[in-house]
């Protein structure tokens, strides 16, 4: 009978089954990366776990559930393993997963106070707590949660556009009265979500003004004004400048304070994409990396990165509360109240894209309520310190080249084995990609790659406090081993390393 699926006792027993498996998963500190399974093979395995019943709901099958959970855990990136060094999402504080579990069961969408009362209050509390770290006084600024940094960046850029061009929301581009085509100034290394947002907004990638970077991969403030002047001569009207606090490629922090001077001088909206690096604000030792952030008009902050909560949990801040109403200018009688009161004052539905939104703030607030900021600050400081140690280890190895000094927990480097001393850039690029792919296929470590100066580099993101310097050395040994295989294979079959086709 279908009602059996809603039985509270069944809920308890299935929760115990799942919890036991997750406990075992968290306790496993073996070094494992990613077990890639062919999609067709995985689809067959998944279909084999599906009940053949179609006309009535069958009795609960505990073995089937256990097999589903096992498959789910085994085929994902092992974010809690010391072998996981490849991406910017993290293993979560386990308690945050428990709170997320509660949110899934009680199912309280949080865009409107009446649907999710505590999430909306918690959002205001965390806004005050984190806003003080930014440098703002309570009462003047605003924060909304969004499902991911990409959506937060889009929302902030909509606010900037609608403020500068009030008629754009209702009249579209035809309503724009400006001395040039609307444009956004960004660092040459800006996250792709900003370029995507420009496309969504009808501005277009061609109207992104790419600002030059310095040797540390940060926006070079000395060359920003000439770039803006050149854009104006080309018929572009820049209304917003986007800075990064922790770029995706190398974790660089743009000089926000100097860029804020330029933004004020040129009457530009200053948005800071701090999806990765804004979390350094919780650390007294690291907060200086974001010097000047209090002068930004808006800030994106992903808690599911360096605050170690389940994704998505993104915070979008506005220095002036009134500006948080700028992105979306519309009315809908079925959700927006005609007579605001003390309850609807906490609604965020008019400030964010989502109507039905997960109460994502609950995972962050619960951890903050129980542990305070020290939990986050201590782990972030540890990871940044570990990354500096990893940099030292790489620098000490003659067959590795570190490509930057890490500002946070991202490190990029290349392997140049003795046999590859004569490789040109194209072959060196291919070797790094080959190394990354072979490391992934071995399944011990999971790392990523990024192009720096048009040549591929190996990239590690240290998100797991279980990683030690010994694991870093083990990774370098693994890289050496797969590089030898790659070079030996190329020498044996005569395939040049510049060949970008699939390996046999």
pLDDT, tens digit only, all 504 positions of the chain: 688 889 999 999 999 999 999 999 999 999 998 888 999 999 999 999 999 998 888 999 999 999 999 999 999 889 999 999 999 988 999 999 999 999 999 998 887 888 888 999 999 999 999 999 999 988 899 999 999 999 999 999 999 999 999 888 878 877 777 788 999 999 998 888 998 998 899 888 889 999 999 999 999 999 999 999 999 999 999 999 999 999 999 999 999 999 999 999 999 999 999 999 999 999 999 999 999 999 999 999 999 999 999 999 999 999 999 898 888 764 444 344 556 777 777 777 777 778 788 999 999 999 999 999 999 999 999 999 999 999 999 999 999 999 999 999 999 999 999 855 678 999 999 999 999 999 999 999 999 999 999 999 999 999 999 999 999 999 999 999 999 998 887 665 655 554 444 333
**Domain residue limits, the chain:** 140-330, 375-493
* Residue-wise DSSP of 96-132: HHHHHHHHHHH----SSTTT-HHHHHHHHHHHHHHHH
Residues 480/399, Cβ–Cβ less than 8 Å: yes
DSSP string, 305-367: HHT--PSP-EEEEESSGGGGGSS-----TTTS-SS--TTGGG--TTTSS-SS---THHHHHHH
CATH 3.40.640.10 fits 140-330, yes or no: yes
Copy the structure tokens of residue 113: 């106070």
Residue 279's CB is within 10 A of a number of other CB atoms, namely: 27
Beta bridge partners of 84: 446
Q: Are domains 140-330 and 375-493 of this chain identical in fold? A: no
Cβ pair 459, 376 in contact under 8 A: no
Q: Give CA 44 to chain center in angstroms.
A: 31
- What does the alpha-carbon distance between residue 367 and residue 378 come to, in Å, rounded to a whole number? 14
State the residue for tokens 């092992």.
78
In the CATH scheme, what is the code of domain 375-493? 3.90.1150.170
How many C-alpha atoms does 198 have within 13 Å on its Cβ side? 24
């Amino acid at each position: 009978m279908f009602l059996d699926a809603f039985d509270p006792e069944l809920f308890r027993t299935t929760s115990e089954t799942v919890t036991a498996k997750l406990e075992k998963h968290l306790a496993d500190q073996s070094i494992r990366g990613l077990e890639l399974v062919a999609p067709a093979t995985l689809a067959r395995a998944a279909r084999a776990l599906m009940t053949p019943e179609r006309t009535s709901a069958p009795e609960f099958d505990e073995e089937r559930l256990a097999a589903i959970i096992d498959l789910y855990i085994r085929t994902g990136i092992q974010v809690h393993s010391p072998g996981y060094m490849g991406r910017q999402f993290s293993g979560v504080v386990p308690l945050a997963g428990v709170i997320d579990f509660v949110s899934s069961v009680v199912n309280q969408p949080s865009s409107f106070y009446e649907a999710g009362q505590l999430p909306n209050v918690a959002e205001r509390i965390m806004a005050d707590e984190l806003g003080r770290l930014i440098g703002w006084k309570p009462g003047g600024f605003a924060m909304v949660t969004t499902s991911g940094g990409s959506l937060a960046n889009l929302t902030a850029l909509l606010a900037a556009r609608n403020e500068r061009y009030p008629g754009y929301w209702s009249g579209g581009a035809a309503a724009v009265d400006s001395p040039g085509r609307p444009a956004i100034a960004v660092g040459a290394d800006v996250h792709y979500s900003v370029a995507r947002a420009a496309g969504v907004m009808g501005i277009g990638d061609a109207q992104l003004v790419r600002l030059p970077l310095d040797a540390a991969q940060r926006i070079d403030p000395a060359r920003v004004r000439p770039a803006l002047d050149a854009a104006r001569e080309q018929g572009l009207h820049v209304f917003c400048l986007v800075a990064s606090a922790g770029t995706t490629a190398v974790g660089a922090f743009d000089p926000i304070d100097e860029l804020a001077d330029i933004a004020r001088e040129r009457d530009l909206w200053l948005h800071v994409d701090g999806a990765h690096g804004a979390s350094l604000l919780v650390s007294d030792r690291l907060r200086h990396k974001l010097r000047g952030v209090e002068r930004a008009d808006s800030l994106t902050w992903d808690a599911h990165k360096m605050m170690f909560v389940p994704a998505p949990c993104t915070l979008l801040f506005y220095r002036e509360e009134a500006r948080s109403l700028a992105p979306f200018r519309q009315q809908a009688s079925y959700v927006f109240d005609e007579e605001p009161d003390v309850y609807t004052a906490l609604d965020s539905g008019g400030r964010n894209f989502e109507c039905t939104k997960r109460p994502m703030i609950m995972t962050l607030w619960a951890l903050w309520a129980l542990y305070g900021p020290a939990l986050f600050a201590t782990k972030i400081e540890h990871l940044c310190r570990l990354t500096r140690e990893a940099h030292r280890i790489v620098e000490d190895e003659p067959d590795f080249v570190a490509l930057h000094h890490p500002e946070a927990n991202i490190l990029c480097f290349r392997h140049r084995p003795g046999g590859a001393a004569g490789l040109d850039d194209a072959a060196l690029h291919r070797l790094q990609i080959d190394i990354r792919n072979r490391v992934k296929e071995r399944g011990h470590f999971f790392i990523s790659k990024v192009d720096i100066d048009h040549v591929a580099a190996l990239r590690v993101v240290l998100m797991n406090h279980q990683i030690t310097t010994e694991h870093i050395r083990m990774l370098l040994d693994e890289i050496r081993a797969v590089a030898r295989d790659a070079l030996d294979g190329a020498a044996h079959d005569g395939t040049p390393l510049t060949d970008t086709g699939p390996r046999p």
